[in-house]
Structure 1
Amino acid sequence: MTRTYAAVSNKGGAGKTTLVTLLAGEYALRQERVLLVDADNRQNLSGWWRLCNEKDNVPDHIDVTVASTQRSIEAAIKDRGDMFDIIIIDAPGVDSSLQTTIIRSSQLVISPIQPAIKELEAAGQVVAAVNDMNDQFDLHIAHFNVRTRISVPARNLEAYRYIRPFIAGLVAADYRTALLDTELFERNIYREIQNGLGTLQMQDLTETVRKARVEVQALVDEIEQRRASLKLGDAA
Protein backbone atom coordinates (compact mmCIF):
# COMPACT_ATOMS: atom_id res chain seq x y z
CA MET A 1 0.00 0.00 0.00
CA THR A 2 1.25 3.47 -0.89
CA ARG A 3 2.39 5.53 2.09
CA THR A 4 1.61 9.25 2.06
CA TYR A 5 3.81 11.60 4.08
CA ALA A 6 3.70 15.40 4.25
CA ALA A 7 6.26 18.01 5.29
CA VAL A 8 4.22 20.71 7.03
CA SER A 9 5.14 23.91 8.85
CA ASN A 10 3.17 27.10 9.33
CA LYS A 11 6.31 29.11 8.71
CA GLY A 12 7.90 29.80 5.34
CA GLY A 13 11.59 28.99 5.03
CA ALA A 14 11.42 26.25 7.65
CA GLY A 15 13.32 23.80 5.45
CA LYS A 16 10.42 21.69 4.16
CA THR A 17 11.63 21.43 0.57
CA THR A 18 15.15 20.47 1.61
CA LEU A 19 13.72 17.82 3.92
CA VAL A 20 11.50 16.46 1.15
CA THR A 21 14.34 16.14 -1.37
CA LEU A 22 16.64 14.49 1.19
CA LEU A 23 14.00 11.94 2.15
CA ALA A 24 13.10 11.26 -1.49
CA GLY A 25 16.70 10.56 -2.41
CA GLU A 26 17.13 8.07 0.42
CA TYR A 27 13.88 6.22 -0.28
CA ALA A 28 14.76 6.09 -3.99
CA LEU A 29 18.17 4.67 -3.12
CA ARG A 30 16.30 1.89 -1.33
CA GLN A 31 14.50 1.14 -4.62
CA GLU A 32 11.23 2.68 -3.52
CA ARG A 33 9.22 4.55 -6.15
CA VAL A 34 8.70 8.10 -4.89
CA LEU A 35 6.17 10.72 -6.02
CA LEU A 36 6.85 14.23 -4.76
CA VAL A 37 3.89 16.63 -4.72
CA ASP A 38 4.68 20.34 -4.78
CA ALA A 39 1.72 22.01 -3.07
CA ASP A 40 3.60 25.15 -2.02
CA ASN A 41 2.83 28.20 -4.16
CA ARG A 42 6.51 29.18 -4.00
CA GLN A 43 7.19 26.01 -6.04
CA ASN A 44 10.74 25.50 -4.76
CA LEU A 45 10.36 21.75 -5.19
CA SER A 46 9.22 21.89 -8.81
CA GLY A 47 11.90 24.52 -9.45
CA TRP A 48 14.54 22.06 -8.22
CA TRP A 49 13.02 19.39 -10.47
CA ARG A 50 13.06 21.67 -13.51
CA LEU A 51 16.75 22.45 -12.94
CA CYS A 52 17.51 18.76 -12.52
CA ASN A 53 15.98 18.10 -15.92
CA GLU A 54 17.83 21.01 -17.52
CA LYS A 55 21.16 19.79 -16.13
CA ASP A 56 20.47 16.12 -16.89
CA ASN A 57 20.49 15.21 -13.21
CA VAL A 58 17.11 13.49 -12.99
CA PRO A 59 17.19 10.89 -10.21
CA ASP A 60 15.91 7.36 -10.75
CA HIS A 61 12.69 6.24 -9.04
CA ILE A 62 11.48 9.82 -8.38
CA ASP A 63 8.82 11.90 -10.10
CA VAL A 64 7.44 15.33 -9.23
CA THR A 65 4.01 16.82 -9.80
CA VAL A 66 2.50 20.20 -8.93
CA ALA A 67 -0.83 20.25 -7.08
CA SER A 68 -2.03 23.62 -5.83
CA THR A 69 -5.71 22.89 -5.13
CA GLN A 70 -7.60 20.45 -2.97
CA ARG A 71 -8.91 18.63 -6.03
CA SER A 72 -5.49 18.31 -7.68
CA ILE A 73 -3.90 16.96 -4.49
CA GLU A 74 -6.63 14.38 -4.06
CA ALA A 75 -6.36 13.46 -7.75
CA ALA A 76 -2.57 13.04 -7.57
CA ILE A 77 -2.92 10.64 -4.66
CA LYS A 78 -5.86 8.73 -6.12
CA ASP A 79 -4.83 8.57 -9.78
CA ARG A 80 -1.06 8.10 -9.42
CA GLY A 81 -0.70 6.58 -5.97
CA ASP A 82 -0.78 2.97 -7.15
CA MET A 83 2.33 3.60 -9.28
CA PHE A 84 4.44 4.62 -6.27
CA ASP A 85 5.51 3.17 -2.95
CA ILE A 86 5.56 6.53 -1.18
CA ILE A 87 4.11 9.99 -1.80
CA ILE A 88 5.73 12.96 -0.06
CA ILE A 89 3.88 16.29 -0.13
CA ASP A 90 5.65 19.63 0.26
CA ALA A 91 2.89 21.65 1.93
CA PRO A 92 2.41 25.44 1.76
CA GLY A 93 4.12 27.41 4.51
CA VAL A 94 0.88 28.91 5.83
CA ASP A 95 -2.15 27.54 7.62
CA SER A 96 -4.88 27.13 5.00
CA SER A 97 -7.70 24.90 3.80
CA LEU A 98 -5.16 23.32 1.45
CA GLN A 99 -2.99 22.37 4.42
CA THR A 100 -6.03 20.71 6.00
CA THR A 101 -6.52 18.60 2.87
CA ILE A 102 -2.85 17.61 2.89
CA ILE A 103 -2.86 16.57 6.54
CA ARG A 104 -6.07 14.59 6.16
CA SER A 105 -4.62 12.79 3.13
CA SER A 106 -1.46 11.69 4.98
CA GLN A 107 -0.54 8.86 7.31
CA LEU A 108 2.45 10.80 8.63
CA VAL A 109 3.15 14.53 8.97
CA ILE A 110 6.71 15.73 9.58
CA SER A 111 7.51 19.26 10.75
CA PRO A 112 11.05 20.67 10.46
CA ILE A 113 12.10 22.85 13.39
CA GLN A 114 15.04 25.22 13.37
CA PRO A 115 16.35 26.55 16.72
CA ALA A 116 14.11 29.63 16.89
CA ILE A 117 10.98 30.49 18.83
CA LYS A 118 8.90 31.17 15.69
CA GLU A 119 9.81 27.71 14.42
CA LEU A 120 8.55 26.13 17.64
CA GLU A 121 5.32 28.07 17.45
CA ALA A 122 4.78 26.95 13.85
CA ALA A 123 5.42 23.30 14.72
CA GLY A 124 3.05 23.53 17.68
CA GLN A 125 0.32 24.83 15.39
CA VAL A 126 0.78 21.84 13.08
CA VAL A 127 0.67 19.44 16.04
CA ALA A 128 -2.67 20.97 17.05
CA ALA A 129 -3.99 20.73 13.48
CA VAL A 130 -3.03 17.06 13.17
CA ASN A 131 -4.60 16.18 16.50
CA ASP A 132 -7.77 18.08 15.65
CA MET A 133 -7.98 16.13 12.40
CA ASN A 134 -7.54 12.84 14.25
CA ASP A 135 -10.27 13.72 16.73
CA GLN A 136 -12.70 15.06 14.15
CA PHE A 137 -12.45 12.16 11.69
CA ASP A 138 -11.34 9.33 14.01
CA LEU A 139 -7.97 9.05 12.23
CA HIS A 140 -4.54 8.00 13.43
CA ILE A 141 -2.23 10.41 11.60
CA ALA A 142 1.19 10.46 13.23
CA HIS A 143 3.24 13.60 13.69
CA PHE A 144 7.03 13.81 13.99
CA ASN A 145 9.27 16.84 14.53
CA VAL A 146 12.80 16.93 13.10
CA ARG A 147 15.42 19.48 14.10
CA THR A 148 17.00 21.07 11.03
CA ARG A 149 19.80 23.51 10.16
CA ILE A 150 21.55 22.66 13.39
CA SER A 151 25.08 23.89 14.07
CA VAL A 152 27.38 23.57 17.05
CA PRO A 153 26.81 27.23 18.07
CA ALA A 154 23.05 26.76 17.64
CA ARG A 155 23.08 24.07 20.29
CA ASN A 156 23.97 26.76 22.82
CA LEU A 157 20.92 28.84 21.96
CA GLU A 158 18.04 28.95 24.41
CA ALA A 159 15.62 28.18 21.58
CA TYR A 160 17.49 24.96 20.78
CA ARG A 161 17.50 23.83 24.41
CA TYR A 162 13.78 24.54 24.60
CA ILE A 163 12.83 22.25 21.68
CA ARG A 164 12.87 18.97 23.63
CA PRO A 165 10.89 20.21 26.68
CA PHE A 166 8.45 22.00 24.35
CA ILE A 167 7.63 18.75 22.53
CA ALA A 168 7.60 16.84 25.83
CA GLY A 169 5.04 19.32 27.11
CA LEU A 170 2.81 18.67 24.10
CA VAL A 171 3.07 14.91 24.65
CA ALA A 172 2.25 15.37 28.35
CA ALA A 173 -0.85 17.28 27.26
CA ASP A 174 -1.94 14.20 25.26
CA TYR A 175 -1.00 15.53 21.83
CA ARG A 176 0.04 12.82 19.37
CA THR A 177 3.55 13.93 18.38
CA ALA A 178 7.20 12.99 18.85
CA LEU A 179 10.64 14.57 18.52
CA LEU A 180 13.01 12.55 16.35
CA ASP A 181 16.46 11.92 17.77
CA THR A 182 18.17 12.41 14.40
CA GLU A 183 19.08 16.01 13.55
CA LEU A 184 19.87 17.59 10.19
CA PHE A 185 22.89 19.85 10.44
CA GLU A 186 23.53 23.03 8.50
CA ARG A 187 25.43 21.69 5.47
CA ASN A 188 26.38 23.45 2.25
CA ILE A 189 25.59 20.33 0.25
CA TYR A 190 21.93 20.52 1.30
CA ARG A 191 21.68 23.97 -0.26
CA GLU A 192 23.75 23.08 -3.31
CA ILE A 193 21.54 20.21 -4.46
CA GLN A 194 18.63 22.65 -4.74
CA ASN A 195 20.44 24.10 -7.79
CA GLY A 196 19.50 21.13 -9.93
CA LEU A 197 22.20 18.67 -8.80
CA GLY A 198 19.73 15.84 -8.29
CA THR A 199 19.61 14.19 -4.89
CA LEU A 200 22.19 14.02 -2.15
CA GLN A 201 22.62 10.35 -2.91
CA MET A 202 23.74 11.17 -6.48
CA GLN A 203 26.71 13.31 -5.40
CA ASP A 204 30.35 12.20 -5.46
CA LEU A 205 31.16 10.59 -2.13
CA THR A 206 33.37 13.25 -0.57
CA GLU A 207 33.78 13.28 3.19
CA THR A 208 31.15 16.02 3.46
CA VAL A 209 28.66 14.06 1.37
CA ARG A 210 29.43 10.88 3.33
CA LYS A 211 28.56 12.59 6.62
CA ALA A 212 25.38 14.00 5.13
CA ARG A 213 24.34 10.63 3.74
CA VAL A 214 24.89 8.92 7.09
CA GLU A 215 22.73 11.61 8.68
CA VAL A 216 19.88 11.24 6.18
CA GLN A 217 20.05 7.44 6.29
CA ALA A 218 19.69 7.58 10.07
CA LEU A 219 16.74 9.94 9.72
CA VAL A 220 14.86 7.64 7.33
CA ASP A 221 15.67 4.60 9.47
CA GLU A 222 14.26 6.36 12.51
CA ILE A 223 11.14 7.54 10.68
CA GLU A 224 10.36 4.04 9.46
CA GLN A 225 11.14 2.39 12.80
CA ARG A 226 8.91 4.80 14.68
CA ARG A 227 6.20 4.60 12.05
CA ALA A 228 6.22 0.81 12.24
CA SER A 229 5.80 0.96 16.02
CA LEU A 230 2.61 2.99 15.66
CA LYS A 231 -0.75 1.72 14.54
CA LEU A 232 -1.32 4.15 11.70
CA GLY A 233 -4.75 4.07 10.15
CA ASP A 234 -5.55 5.04 6.58
CA ALA A 235 -5.97 8.72 5.80
CA ALA A 236 -9.48 9.92 5.11
Structure 2
Amino acid sequence: MTRTYAAVSNKGGAGKTTLVTLLAGEYALRGERVLLIDADNRQNLSGWWKRCAEKNNVPNHIEVTVASTQRSIEQAIDNPGRSFDLIIIDAPGVDSSLQTTIIRSAELVISPIQPAIKELEAAGQAVAAVNEINDQYGLAIGHFNVRTRISVPGRNLEAYRYIRPFVAGLVAAEYRTRLLDTELFERNIYREIQNGLGTLQMQALTDPVRKARIEVQALVEEIERYRASNSIEGAP
Protein backbone atom coordinates (compact mmCIF):
# COMPACT_ATOMS: atom_id res chain seq x y z
CA MET A 1 0.00 0.00 0.00
CA THR A 2 1.32 3.44 -0.94
CA ARG A 3 2.36 5.65 1.98
CA THR A 4 1.91 9.42 1.72
CA TYR A 5 4.00 11.93 3.67
CA ALA A 6 3.85 15.72 3.48
CA ALA A 7 6.45 18.35 4.36
CA VAL A 8 4.49 21.27 5.83
CA SER A 9 5.52 24.60 7.30
CA ASN A 10 3.66 27.89 7.18
CA LYS A 11 6.93 29.71 6.53
CA GLY A 12 8.81 30.04 3.28
CA GLY A 13 12.47 29.06 3.33
CA ALA A 14 12.00 26.62 6.19
CA GLY A 15 13.92 23.87 4.38
CA LYS A 16 11.01 21.74 3.17
CA THR A 17 12.33 21.11 -0.33
CA THR A 18 15.77 20.14 0.94
CA LEU A 19 14.14 17.77 3.44
CA VAL A 20 11.98 16.23 0.71
CA THR A 21 14.91 15.58 -1.65
CA LEU A 22 17.04 14.11 1.14
CA LEU A 23 14.29 11.73 2.22
CA ALA A 24 13.42 10.76 -1.36
CA GLY A 25 17.01 9.86 -2.15
CA GLU A 26 17.32 7.63 0.91
CA TYR A 27 14.03 5.82 0.35
CA ALA A 28 14.88 5.34 -3.35
CA LEU A 29 18.27 3.90 -2.39
CA ARG A 30 16.37 1.34 -0.31
CA GLY A 31 14.52 0.22 -3.42
CA GLU A 32 11.29 2.14 -2.91
CA ARG A 33 9.54 3.83 -5.82
CA VAL A 34 9.04 7.46 -4.79
CA LEU A 35 6.72 10.08 -6.25
CA LEU A 36 7.42 13.68 -5.26
CA ILE A 37 4.56 16.17 -5.62
CA ASP A 38 5.54 19.82 -5.92
CA ALA A 39 2.52 21.72 -4.55
CA ASP A 40 4.46 24.91 -3.77
CA ASN A 41 3.91 27.70 -6.30
CA ARG A 42 7.61 28.62 -6.01
CA GLN A 43 8.31 25.21 -7.60
CA ASN A 44 11.72 24.74 -6.00
CA LEU A 45 11.29 20.97 -6.12
CA SER A 46 10.39 20.80 -9.82
CA GLY A 47 13.15 23.33 -10.53
CA TRP A 48 15.66 20.98 -8.90
CA TRP A 49 14.28 18.12 -11.00
CA LYS A 50 14.60 20.13 -14.23
CA ARG A 51 18.22 21.02 -13.43
CA CYS A 52 18.94 17.34 -12.69
CA ALA A 53 17.55 16.39 -16.11
CA GLU A 54 19.61 19.07 -17.83
CA LYS A 55 22.77 17.71 -16.20
CA ASN A 56 21.93 14.04 -16.74
CA ASN A 57 21.55 13.49 -13.00
CA VAL A 58 17.97 12.18 -12.80
CA PRO A 59 17.90 9.71 -9.88
CA ASN A 60 16.53 6.21 -10.25
CA HIS A 61 13.22 5.23 -8.63
CA ILE A 62 12.09 8.86 -8.23
CA GLU A 63 9.58 10.87 -10.25
CA VAL A 64 8.40 14.46 -9.77
CA THR A 65 5.06 16.00 -10.71
CA VAL A 66 3.62 19.47 -10.19
CA ALA A 67 0.17 19.78 -8.61
CA SER A 68 -1.04 23.25 -7.68
CA THR A 69 -4.78 22.67 -7.21
CA GLN A 70 -6.85 20.44 -4.97
CA ARG A 71 -7.98 18.34 -7.92
CA SER A 72 -4.49 17.89 -9.37
CA ILE A 73 -3.12 16.83 -5.97
CA GLU A 74 -5.88 14.28 -5.54
CA GLN A 75 -5.36 12.99 -9.07
CA ALA A 76 -1.61 12.66 -8.57
CA ILE A 77 -2.19 10.59 -5.47
CA ASP A 78 -5.14 8.49 -6.66
CA ASN A 79 -3.98 7.61 -10.16
CA PRO A 80 -0.22 7.33 -10.89
CA GLY A 81 0.43 7.42 -7.16
CA ARG A 82 -0.82 3.87 -6.84
CA SER A 83 2.26 2.56 -8.65
CA PHE A 84 4.60 4.05 -6.04
CA ASP A 85 5.63 2.83 -2.61
CA LEU A 86 5.91 6.34 -1.19
CA ILE A 87 4.52 9.76 -2.09
CA ILE A 88 6.06 12.88 -0.52
CA ILE A 89 4.28 16.22 -0.98
CA ASP A 90 6.22 19.49 -0.81
CA ALA A 91 3.50 21.82 0.52
CA PRO A 92 3.29 25.59 -0.05
CA GLY A 93 5.57 27.63 2.20
CA VAL A 94 2.69 29.75 3.41
CA ASP A 95 -0.73 28.85 4.72
CA SER A 96 -3.02 28.27 1.76
CA SER A 97 -6.32 26.68 0.80
CA LEU A 98 -4.35 23.64 -0.36
CA GLN A 99 -3.07 22.86 3.11
CA THR A 100 -6.17 20.98 4.25
CA THR A 101 -6.14 18.84 1.09
CA ILE A 102 -2.45 18.05 1.49
CA ILE A 103 -2.66 17.19 5.18
CA ARG A 104 -5.81 15.08 4.72
CA SER A 105 -4.03 13.14 1.97
CA ALA A 106 -1.08 12.24 4.22
CA GLU A 107 -0.64 9.68 6.94
CA LEU A 108 2.37 11.62 8.25
CA VAL A 109 3.22 15.32 8.22
CA ILE A 110 6.83 16.40 8.80
CA SER A 111 7.72 19.99 9.71
CA PRO A 112 11.32 21.28 9.56
CA ILE A 113 12.27 23.66 12.37
CA GLN A 114 15.30 25.94 12.20
CA PRO A 115 16.50 27.57 15.44
CA ALA A 116 14.46 30.76 15.10
CA ILE A 117 11.27 32.00 16.73
CA LYS A 118 9.32 32.34 13.47
CA GLU A 119 10.27 28.75 12.60
CA LEU A 120 8.82 27.58 15.91
CA GLU A 121 5.65 29.53 15.29
CA ALA A 122 5.29 27.98 11.84
CA ALA A 123 5.81 24.47 13.21
CA GLY A 124 3.23 25.14 15.92
CA GLN A 125 0.75 26.25 13.27
CA ALA A 126 1.38 23.03 11.33
CA VAL A 127 0.81 20.94 14.47
CA ALA A 128 -2.45 22.79 15.13
CA ALA A 129 -3.60 22.29 11.53
CA VAL A 130 -2.91 18.55 11.63
CA ASN A 131 -4.71 18.09 14.93
CA GLU A 132 -7.68 20.19 13.82
CA ILE A 133 -8.04 18.05 10.69
CA ASN A 134 -7.74 14.88 12.76
CA ASP A 135 -10.55 16.06 15.02
CA GLN A 136 -12.74 17.31 12.21
CA TYR A 137 -12.50 14.23 10.00
CA GLY A 138 -11.84 11.50 12.57
CA LEU A 139 -8.32 10.82 11.27
CA ALA A 140 -5.06 9.85 12.98
CA ILE A 141 -2.47 11.71 10.91
CA GLY A 142 0.87 11.82 12.66
CA HIS A 143 3.13 14.84 12.96
CA PHE A 144 6.92 14.92 13.35
CA ASN A 145 9.20 17.91 13.90
CA VAL A 146 12.73 17.80 12.45
CA ARG A 147 15.43 20.25 13.51
CA THR A 148 17.21 21.51 10.40
CA ARG A 149 20.10 23.81 9.44
CA ILE A 150 21.68 23.24 12.82
CA SER A 151 25.21 24.42 13.54
CA VAL A 152 27.43 23.97 16.58
CA PRO A 153 27.29 27.71 17.41
CA GLY A 154 23.56 27.65 16.70
CA ARG A 155 23.03 25.22 19.54
CA ASN A 156 23.82 28.06 21.89
CA LEU A 157 20.96 30.16 20.59
CA GLU A 158 17.98 30.64 22.86
CA ALA A 159 15.66 29.66 20.02
CA TYR A 160 17.44 26.31 19.63
CA ARG A 161 17.22 25.56 23.36
CA TYR A 162 13.54 26.39 23.27
CA ILE A 163 12.62 23.86 20.57
CA ARG A 164 12.45 20.84 22.89
CA PRO A 165 10.33 22.48 25.64
CA PHE A 166 8.15 24.05 22.94
CA VAL A 167 7.27 20.65 21.47
CA ALA A 168 6.99 19.17 24.96
CA GLY A 169 4.37 21.82 25.71
CA LEU A 170 2.41 20.80 22.63
CA VAL A 171 2.50 17.16 23.69
CA ALA A 172 1.41 18.11 27.22
CA ALA A 173 -1.52 19.97 25.65
CA GLU A 174 -2.48 16.67 23.97
CA TYR A 175 -1.41 17.57 20.46
CA ARG A 176 -0.40 14.61 18.34
CA THR A 177 3.23 15.43 17.56
CA ARG A 178 6.81 14.35 18.24
CA LEU A 179 10.24 15.94 18.10
CA LEU A 180 12.66 13.59 16.35
CA ASP A 181 16.10 13.09 17.85
CA THR A 182 17.92 13.25 14.51
CA GLU A 183 19.05 16.72 13.46
CA LEU A 184 20.00 17.91 9.99
CA PHE A 185 23.08 20.12 10.20
CA GLU A 186 23.86 23.07 7.96
CA ARG A 187 25.91 21.41 5.20
CA ASN A 188 27.19 22.75 1.89
CA ILE A 189 26.26 19.51 0.14
CA TYR A 190 22.59 20.00 1.01
CA ARG A 191 22.64 23.30 -0.88
CA GLU A 192 24.78 22.01 -3.73
CA ILE A 193 22.46 19.15 -4.71
CA GLN A 194 19.71 21.71 -5.36
CA ASN A 195 21.77 22.87 -8.36
CA GLY A 196 20.89 19.70 -10.26
CA LEU A 197 23.33 17.20 -8.79
CA GLY A 198 20.66 14.59 -8.20
CA THR A 199 20.26 13.24 -4.69
CA LEU A 200 22.68 13.17 -1.79
CA GLN A 201 22.97 9.42 -2.25
CA MET A 202 24.34 9.90 -5.79
CA GLN A 203 27.35 11.96 -4.69
CA ALA A 204 30.91 10.68 -4.42
CA LEU A 205 31.48 9.45 -0.89
CA THR A 206 33.72 12.21 0.41
CA ASP A 207 33.96 12.74 4.15
CA PRO A 208 31.31 15.54 4.17
CA VAL A 209 28.95 13.40 2.08
CA ARG A 210 29.54 10.38 4.32
CA LYS A 211 28.60 12.42 7.40
CA ALA A 212 25.50 13.73 5.65
CA ARG A 213 24.53 10.22 4.53
CA ILE A 214 24.76 8.92 8.10
CA GLU A 215 22.57 11.80 9.24
CA VAL A 216 19.86 11.19 6.64
CA GLN A 217 19.92 7.42 7.16
CA ALA A 218 19.34 7.97 10.87
CA LEU A 219 16.45 10.31 10.12
CA VAL A 220 14.69 7.84 7.83
CA GLU A 221 15.20 5.00 10.28
CA GLU A 222 13.74 7.10 13.08
CA ILE A 223 10.74 8.15 10.99
CA GLU A 224 9.98 4.57 10.02
CA ARG A 225 10.52 3.21 13.52
CA TYR A 226 7.98 5.55 15.06
CA ARG A 227 5.59 5.26 12.14
CA ALA A 228 5.62 1.47 12.20
CA SER A 229 5.03 1.37 15.94
CA ASN A 230 2.32 4.06 15.63
CA SER A 231 4.29 6.00 18.23
CA ILE A 232 3.63 9.55 17.12
CA GLU A 233 3.01 11.09 20.50
CA GLY A 234 5.62 10.95 23.20
CA ALA A 235 8.03 12.85 25.35
CA PRO A 236 10.02 14.88 22.83
> 1:26 touches 1:201 (CA, 8 Å); kept in 2?
yes
List alignment gaps of at least 5 residues for structure 1: none
Q: Partners of 1:13 and 1:51 in 2: how far apart?
A: 19
What is the alpha-carbon distance in structure 2 between the residues aligned to residue 157 and residue 186 of structure 1? Answer: 15
TM-score normalised per structure 2: 0.97
Hey, what's the Cα distance between the residues in 2 that align with 1:13 and 1:140?
28
Partner of 1:183: 183
Tell me, in whole angstroms, the C-alpha distance in 2 between the residues paired with 1:188 and 1:100.
33
Offset at 1:156?
0.1
> Corresponding residue for 2:79?
79
Q: Quote the Cα distance in structure 2 between the aligned partners of 1:45 and 1:96.
A: 18
Aligned: 1:169 with 2:169: yes
CA–CA distance in 2 between the matches of 1:224 and 1:115?
25
Distance (Å, rounded) in 2 between the aligned partners of 1:32 and 1:154: 34
Q: CA deviation at 1:231?
A: 7.4
Q: How big is the shift at 1:82?
A: 1.4
Whole-angstrom CA distance in 1 between matches of 2:230 and 2:202: 32
SS of 2:52's partner is helix
What do you get for the CA RMSD once the two structures are aligned? Answer: 0.8
Determine the C-alpha separation between the residues in 2 that align with 1:178 and 1:113. 12
Alignment of 1:54-203 (within 5 A): 54-203=54-203
Residue 96 of structure 1: how far off its partner (Å): 1.4
**How far apart are the structure 1 equivalents of 2:231 and 2:9?**
24
Q: Say which SS state the counterpart of residue 98 (structure 2) adopts.
A: helix
> Could you say what secondary structure the match of 1:36 adopts?
strand
Contact 1:140-1:231 at 8 Å conserved across structures: no
Amino acid at match of 1:104: R
Equivalence for 2:230: 230
Identity %: 84
* Deviation >4 Å, runs of 4+: none
Q: How many residues align?
A: 232
Give unmatched runs, 5+ long, in structure 2: none
Give the letter aligned to residue 150 of structure 2. Answer: I
Amino acid at match of 2:41: N
Structure-2 separation of matches of 1:112 and 1:197:
22
Inter-partner Cα distance in structure 2 for 1:54 and 1:146: 31
Matched, 1:11 2:20: no
Q: Is the 8 A contact 1:6 1:102 kept in 2?
A: yes
Counterpart for residue 25 of structure 2:
25
TM-score, normalised by the number of residues in structure 1: 0.97
